[in-house]
């Protein structure tokens, strides 16, 4: 399990220092350099979270309706009007996963994307639940053994230690054609039989939204 928090504070400080040194005399640049350790310490120190956003661990399990789980991408969003991303975790080995996710406490919406085939960098555009809903997967990349599945769960993180379950559903459907019946009576070709039959699906989308089957909802646990 991996939890990703990205910050560009250090790079920003060095960029400002480089520009400052070019625009002002060297002694001013040296003066700024003397304050640089304090800036870097302040940037590297984790920000203090409000009391209701204290870090907490929630145990969850996945219930797949079809196929096998090969890898998982788990997103935790704040349960408020903006529904911003709280944390993201990549589970590359579900067998050895401890069924735990780390997030801030309070109302949270958990979205799980299973067998997406995406890397960590492929998810960099996800900053809110709305941005995740805008992403799509291609049916051409689907695997019957490891289909893409998704699920959502609303929780109040930190309230209790019960294990929660996310029900997963695939985005694809299977159409099974068992027989074809035609009535050729009272026609010139009456008595003929169908040969070399081909069946085509029409008006089928090649892509599907990641959370297309999941409703818009808020947590009801307070």
Residue 188 placed within a domain = no
- Structural domain ending residue among the three candidates 152, 171, 190: 171
Residue 157 is encoded by which pair of tokens?
Answer: 């993180």
Residue 135 placed within a domain = yes
Handedness of CA 156, 157, 162, 168 (dihedral sign): positive
Residue 154 placed within a domain = yes
**Local confidence pLDDT in tens for the 222 residues of the chain:** 444 443 333 333 333 444 444 444 554 444 444 444 444 433 333 333 444 568 899 999 998 877 789 999 999 999 999 999 999 999 999 999 999 999 999 999 999 999 999 999 999 999 999 999 999 888 888 888 899 999 999 999 988 788 999 999 888 777 888 888 888 888 898 888 888 888 888 887 788 888 875 555 444 443
Q: What pLDDT score was predicted for residue 49?
A: 42
Same domain, residue pair 31 and 126: no
Residue 222 placed within a domain = no
Task: Tell me which residue range forms the domain holding 77.
Answer: 51-171
Rounded CA separation 218/97 (Å):
27
Same domain, residue pair 71 and 150: yes
Rg of the chain on CA atoms, in Å: 26
Q: How many helices (H) and strands (E) does the chain have?
A: 3, 10
Q: What pLDDT score was predicted for residue 113?
A: 95
Q: What pLDDT score was predicted for residue 222?
A: 36
Residue 212 placed within a domain = no
Same domain, residue pair 134 and 35: no
Residue 185 placed within a domain = no
Closest CA to 166 of 82, 64, 88: 64
Residue 105 placed within a domain = yes
Same domain, residue pair 123 and 71: yes
Please work out, in degrees rounded to the nearest 5, the angle formed at the alpha carbon of residue 37 by the alpha carbons of 33 and 43: 120
Q: What pLDDT score was predicted for residue 44?
A: 37
The domain that holds 117 is classified in CATH as 2.60.40.2580
Q: What pLDDT score was predicted for residue 214?
A: 59
Residue 192 placed within a domain = no
Same domain, residue pair 36 and 61: no
CA 24 to chain centre: 46
Same domain, residue pair 74 and 94: yes
Same domain, residue pair 65 and 141: yes
Q: What pLDDT score was predicted for residue 23?
A: 46
Please state the domain count of the chain: 2
b/e sequence 117-145, b meaning 16+ C-beta within 10 Å: ebeeeebeebeebeebbebebeeeebeee
Rounded CA separation 201/211 (Å):
23
Same domain, residue pair 39 and 100: no
Helix ranges, 58-199 (H):
129-133
Same domain, residue pair 95 and 141: yes
Helix ranges, 45-193 (H):
129-133
Same domain, residue pair 67 and 19: no
């Amino acid at each position: 399990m991996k939890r990703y928090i990205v910050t560009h504070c250090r790079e920003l400080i060095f960029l400002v220092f480089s520009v400052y040194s070019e625009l002002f005399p060297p002694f001013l640049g040296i003066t700024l350099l003397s304050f640089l350790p304090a800036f870097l310490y302040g940037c590297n120190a984790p920000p203090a979270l409000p009391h209701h956003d204290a870090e907490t661990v929630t145990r969850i399990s996945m219930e797949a309706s079809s196929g096998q789980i090969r890898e998982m991408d788990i997103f935790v969003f704040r349960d408020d009007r903006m529904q911003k991303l709280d944390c993201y975790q990549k589970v590359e080995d579900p067998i050895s996963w401890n069924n735990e996710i780390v997030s801030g406490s309070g109302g949270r919406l958990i979205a799980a994307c299973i067998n997406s085939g995406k890397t960590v960098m492929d998810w960099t555009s996800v900053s809110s639940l709305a941005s995740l809903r805008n992403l799509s997967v291609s049916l051409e990349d689907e695997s019957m053994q490891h289909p893409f599945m998704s699920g959502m769960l609303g929780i109040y993180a930190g309230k209790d230690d019960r294990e929660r379950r996310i029900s997963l559903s695939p985005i694809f459907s299977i159409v099974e054609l068992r027989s074809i019946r035609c009535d050729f009576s009272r026609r010139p070709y009456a008595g003929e039989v169908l040969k070399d039959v081909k069946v085509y699906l029409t008006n089928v989308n090649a892509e599907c939204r990641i959370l297309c089957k999941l409703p818009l909802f808020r947590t009801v646990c307070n």
